[in-house]
Amino acid sequence: MKRLYFVITMFMVMAMVLGACATPTPETIIQTVEVPKEVIQTVEVPVEVIKTVEVQVTAEPSTETFPRNETLYFNGQQWGSVVCWNPYSSNCNNAMAITAQDSSRVTMFETPYLYNMLDGKVYPLLANGDYTWNDAHTEITFKIKPAAHWSDGTPVTADDVAYTWASNIKYETNAGVNYKDYIDSITAVDPQTVLVKSKLDANGKTVNPLMVAAYLSSNYVIQKAWTQTLEARTGGDATAFKADAAEDVVWSGPYHKFFADDTKVVYVRDDNYWGQDASMWGKLPAPKYLAHVIYKDNAAGSVALAQGEVDVSQQFNSNVQILWLNYGLPVSTYLPDPPYGIGASLPTAFYNQKSYGLDQLAVRKAIAIAVDYDTIIANAMTNQSATFAQVPRSLMNPTPGEQALYDHAAVADLQWTGKDIEGAKKLLDDAGIKDTDGDGWREYNGKKLSYVATCPNGWSDWQAAIEVVAAAGKDIGIEITTNYPEWAVYQTVVTDWQALPDTGYDIFMMWSDGAGPTQPWGRIRHLISSEFAETQNNWNGNWGGYKNPAADEIIQAIPGETDPAKLKAAYTDLVKIYLTDIPSFTLMYRPQSFHAVNESVWTGFPHQDDGTNPPVPPLDLTDGWSIAGLYNLTLVNP
Amino acid sequence: MKGYRKYFLNKMVWFLITLVCAFILNFILPRLMPGDPVAVITQRVTQGMQSQSGVQAVYNQYAELFGTKKPMLEQFILYMKNVAQGNFGISFSQYPRPVADIIASSIWWTVCLQFPAIIVGWLIGNTLGALAAYLKKGFDKVLMPVSIFVSNFPAFGMAVILLVIFGVGLKWFPTSGGYGFDMIPNVSWKFMWSVIVHYQLPFWSIVLIAIGGQAIGMRSMSIYELNADYVKYSRFMGIKDRKIIGYVFRNAMLPQVTGLALSIGTMVGGALVAEIIFSYPGLGFTMLNGVMGQDYPLISAATLIVTLMVLSATFLIEILYGFIDPRIKAAQSD
């Protein structure tokens, strides 16, 4: 027996030693990949003229190892396994291929227009030229590019756009549910021309022109023929329609599925992609493969970025600057110095209007001005956020376009940058909110002010921020303790006004909208519009239950307003209301997408002042106009 | 033989009672957690959705689809029917993926990581523990502190140390994944080698901790047995040391075998820490996400598998004990 154990032990030790002698990380081996063969097919078109169309059929590449210099590696976008490839589904967890949002991800499926968060404009993708409103501002017309075609070689037509909309409505997809209150119909005037009719209010005016226009850059066009195949397969059942895995889907974008399992997902370039036409990009995107290894957490992703196994990182890399400052790695961010990226959303602490004493402006303002925001930004965000001295608080994100939308001087006297302990104390004293029983905590109407500040457990940057909020309370004599429920519990409570208790969730963190074609209007609406106050299943905003009819009126008027001066005045008024009433307060700025790149293999990534025109935004070369960045990449060692 | 039959039947009845109770608890407990899984899904799928009525509509769709608003009893009957047909239902968190598919794709990674690690850790640990007890002196003086030190390491600490030293620092092993980040699974030596190399750090992060604990346990048991009367008597009888050591280890091994069976029974729960630190595929992280997202079908299916394996392992061990050590059978048959 002893001998047996000895032999087994020696065997294991030998295995370890042999393993140690192995090649470290798997070396990249460049191997010959089958070159796609060009096959000429003759397609008979059932019209009077028989047309001959050349179709390049892309041979499926077969490979065991992806050539490193043909593959662009990502992290931070795909968490967990890909579930399906159905662009009508919102549940595919297929982040790299299917993410319809303000800046939609257009690697596999495409939108008519691409939103650029840097200049706030949209640029045509499937569309041919700009869209136009009619004089009454009730209809949008746009054309489809003649060169645009699907992966099966058939052209993208206006009928595809119309049928996609009809399917979105019929099967109650997210796009349909989201836009049905704003868009009346989308029809094909002719094979190249699309007509979008808005829903009109009682006065015959468009209900919301911003939302109508946003549809064009936020939602995919899906092939009519494939949609009909899907309908036939699922028998018209809406649930089955949206739950179909859609392995046979037809796409129009530059990449499609190559491989997916629980550890990674890989997309391969479609060398027959229509976008190489001179009317769009004029060439194919540089990487042949887009690969996303599925990391289990940010730490693993950060190690892979440092190791050169990731080229584009869309995740929070704590203290990202040490990668180039301390380790000399060829890693960089969009901006070379703090805040390293462009802030787009406003993680915000909401006051629960039900909580005792939080209906008092003095209490809300005292807490807000006492918080040490610089510490939050340094600790929670490792300086990957602009400070409030750099970008004064408002309802706008730090992008230049949004900052120009309100009058900074008009609200200057309402601003605060934080850590104003004495100011906060004075405010409370003046309001008669003092420590009357000598226990060190202030009372309001004889009742001690004691609150719980909360955010989901494990959201480490938010937890660090909430701790700073609690510390501010102690400094000004208001007891604030912290509590971190699991996300599954937390979100159930804060999104349901009836479930939100009057204690335990007094100050809680949630997010705001980022950058997009409906912003900053959409963000402001979500932060303070009373249409979301005291509602259930509220995933939009105003979770604290703030109500202000004056603000509502301005929010309602903005979408129909086209005069820039009036718009600026309206936004300034809203900022004034927000900074005066303080129903919630922003704790930091957060980028739309984190964007750190490792230039060991590829170079030419978007950076500030990189000379691109229009500027390519730091959205990981996949979202909205940032996909233009894929066409600018070159190899470090060609 | 009649005694064995009674003993076996007794154990079998308890096995079935425990299984029924565990089955019911597996269904009920996840559903008693505070929170609403449909709200979690709604949040995920309505990101960017502006319309409040739209969000409500999506919530209602999923609540209807998953039947979470139905009475608990109705849900339980449906669950039993499905399980009887080998159908664990559709995952909430990875909808529309079937739970069976999720488990099938990750369980082999877990079993292939955990089973050898448990066996190797157990064998090496017990061997070292027994040697320490028998050889004493220098070997014991070195082994004991080292074992205590290593076995008290938190699992994530050991994993991070191995990662930093052998992955990041020395670059002997890759830092993450089940196989090369630049590969897809295929039948080739290159791929197999990649799997083996990626296996090393997660494997040793589990084994090293297991060795220490097993060695301490085995050492204590062996010391106790070495001082037992039958050992002294055997020595007086002039029986060879080698033969005596055989008896000693066999007796000392009994509690260790129980521990081994339980470890094997619970192994499908996954090596969560190793999976997270090394981004290694497996069931542990999938289960964690299931629990966090209140994915009832996934939690119930995974816990049912764990329950079945633990119950089967303990049942087998109890039956084996009846044969190995008749005293146990005799005591329990009375």
Among chain B residues, CA nearest to A101: B48
Residue A44 forms contact with B (CB below 8 Å): no
The nearest CA of chain A is from the CA of B7 a distance in Å of: 31
CB contact under 8 A, B197 and A22: yes
| DSSP annotation string for A464-486 | HHHHHHHHHHHHHT-EEEEE---
pLDDT on residue B137: 78
Q: Per-residue pLDDT averaged across A34-55, rounded?
A: 40
- When mean pLDDT is compared across A400-409, B224-233, B267-276, the lowest value belongs to B267-276
Nearest CA to B275 out of A463, A527, A294, A205 is that of: A294
pLDDT per position as a tens digit, B58-109: 888 888 888 888 888 888 888 888 888 888 888 888 888 889 999 998 888 9
pLDDT on residue B329: 65
pLDDT on residue A22: 36
Average pLDDT over chain B reads 85
pLDDT at A438 over 80: yes
CB contact under 8 A, A488 and B48: no
| DSSP annotation string for A556-620 | HHGGG---HHHHHHHHHHHHHHHHHH-SEEE---EESS--EEETTTEE----TT---SSPPPSST
Distance separating alpha carbons of residues A279 and A276, to the nearest angstrom: 8
CB A385 within 8 A of CB A373: no
A410 DSSP 8-state letter: G
Q: Per-residue pLDDT averaged across A398-405, rounded?
A: 92
Q: Which positions in chain A touch B36 (Cβ < 8 Å)? A: 488, 492
Distance separating alpha carbons of residues B48 and B46, to the nearest angstrom: 6
Helix, strand, coil abundance in chain A, percent, nearest 5: 30, 15, 55
Among chain A residues, CA nearest to B66: A239
pLDDT at A618 over 80: yes
The nearest CA of chain B is from the CA of A301 a distance in Å of: 9
pLDDT per position as a tens digit, B2-15: 667 888 888 889 98
- When mean pLDDT is compared across A31-35, A270-274, B77-81, B259-263, the lowest value belongs to A31-35
**Which 260-319 residues of chain A touch chain B by CB within 8 A?**
261-264, 266, 291, 293-297, 299-300, 303-304, 306-307, 309
Average pLDDT over chain A reads 90
Q: Which positions in chain A touch B173 (Cβ < 8 Å)? A: 19-20, 22, 24
Bigger pLDDT: A285 vs A12 = A285
pLDDT at A339 over 60: yes
pLDDT per position as a tens digit, B302-334: 888 888 888 888 888 888 777 777 676 666 655
pLDDT per position as a tens digit, B133-151: 887 877 778 877 888 888 7
pLDDT on residue A142: 98
Confidence of residue B283 (pLDDT cuts 50, 70, 90): confident
Q: Taking each helix axis as running N to C, give the angle between helix B189-226 and helix A2-20, from 0 to 180 degrees, rounded to the nearest 10.
A: 140
pLDDT at B53 over 70: yes
Provide the token pair at A481.
């303790």
φ, ψ of residue A194 in degrees (nearest 5): -110, 135
**Which 159-178 residues of chain A touch chain B by CB within 8 A?**
172, 174, 177-178
Alpha-carbon distance values, B303 to A201, A476, A556, B74, B100 (Å): 54, 49, 51, 21, 13
Percentage of chain B with pLDDT > 70?
94
* Chains A–B, number of C-beta pairs less than 8 Å apart: 232
pLDDT on residue A51: 41
**Which 446-485 residues of chain A touch chain B by CB within 8 A?**
none
pLDDT on residue A426: 97
- When mean pLDDT is compared across A182-191, A360-369, B243-252, the lowest value belongs to B243-252
Interface test with A, best of B161, B176, B199, B243 (most A CBs within 10 A): B176
Q: Per-residue pLDDT averaged across B279-286, rounded?
A: 88
A411 DSSP 8-state letter: G
Nearest CA to B63 out of B296, B300, B291, B289 is that of: B296
Distance separating alpha carbons of residues A30 and A637, to the nearest angstrom: 13
Secondary structure (3-state) at A262: coil
Closest Cβ–Cβ partner in A1, A84, A245 for B246: A1
Pairing of strands A479-483, A450-454: parallel
CB contact under 8 A, A177 and B65: no
pLDDT at A61 over 60: no
The nearest CA of chain B is from the CA of A459 a distance in Å of: 13
The nearest CA of chain B is from the CA of A464 a distance in Å of: 21
CB contact under 8 A, A307 and B168: yes
Q: Which positions in chain A touch B57 (Cβ < 8 Å)? A: 172, 177
Q: Per-residue pLDDT averaged across A246-274, rounded?
A: 96
Closest Cβ–Cβ partner in A178, A263, A495 for B51: A178
Bigger pLDDT: A556 vs A296 = A556
Interface test with A, best of B107, B184, B292 (most A CBs within 10 A): B184
CB A493 within 8 A of CB A477: no
Interface test with A, best of B49, B53, B90, B182 (most A CBs within 10 A): B182
The nearest CA of chain A is from the CA of B47 a distance in Å of: 8
- At CB < 8 A and 24+ separation, what contacts does A301-308 make? A301/A75, A301/A76, A303/B163, A303/B167, A303/B168, A303/B175, A303/B176, A304/A75, A304/B175, A304/B176, A304/B181, A305/A75, A305/A331, A305/A596, A305/A598, A306/A331, A306/A598, A306/B168, A307/A25, A307/B168, A307/B175, A308/A598, A308/A600, A308/A601
pLDDT on residue B253: 82
φ, ψ of residue B302 in degrees (nearest 5): -65, -45
Q: Which positions in chain B touch A306 (Cβ < 8 Å)? A: 168
Confidence of residue B173 (pLDDT cuts 50, 70, 90): very high
CB contact under 8 A, B183 and A93: no
Structure-token match 């769009």, residue found:
A280
Q: Which positions in chain A touch B95 (Cβ < 8 Å)? A: 83, 91, 243
pLDDT per position as a tens digit, A6-37: 444 444 444 443 333 333 333 333 333 343 44
Distance separating alpha carbons of residues B107 and A98, to the nearest angstrom: 28
Confidence of residue A45 (pLDDT cuts 50, 70, 90): very low
Confidence of residue A563 (pLDDT cuts 50, 70, 90): very high
- Report how far Cα B184 is from the mean position of its chain's Cα atoms: 28
* Gyration radius of chain B over CA positions: 25
pLDDT at A55 over 50: no
Among chain A residues, CA nearest to B181: A293
Closest Cβ–Cβ partner in B58, B182, B278 for A68: B182
Alpha-carbon distance values, A288 to A218, A626, B3 (Å): 26, 18, 71
A628 DSSP 8-state letter: G
Provide the token pair at A61.
């590449």
Distance separating alpha carbons of residues A555 and A574, to the nearest angstrom: 8
pLDDT per position as a tens digit, A465-513: 999 999 999 999 999 999 999 888 898 899 999 999 999 999 999 999 9
pLDDT on residue A103: 93
Alpha-carbon distance values, B58 to A165, A383, A538, A584 (Å): 18, 37, 12, 27
pLDDT on residue B270: 66
Please state the pTM of the whole predicted model: 0.85
CB contact under 8 A, B54 and A295: no
The nearest CA of chain B is from the CA of A338 a distance in Å of: 27
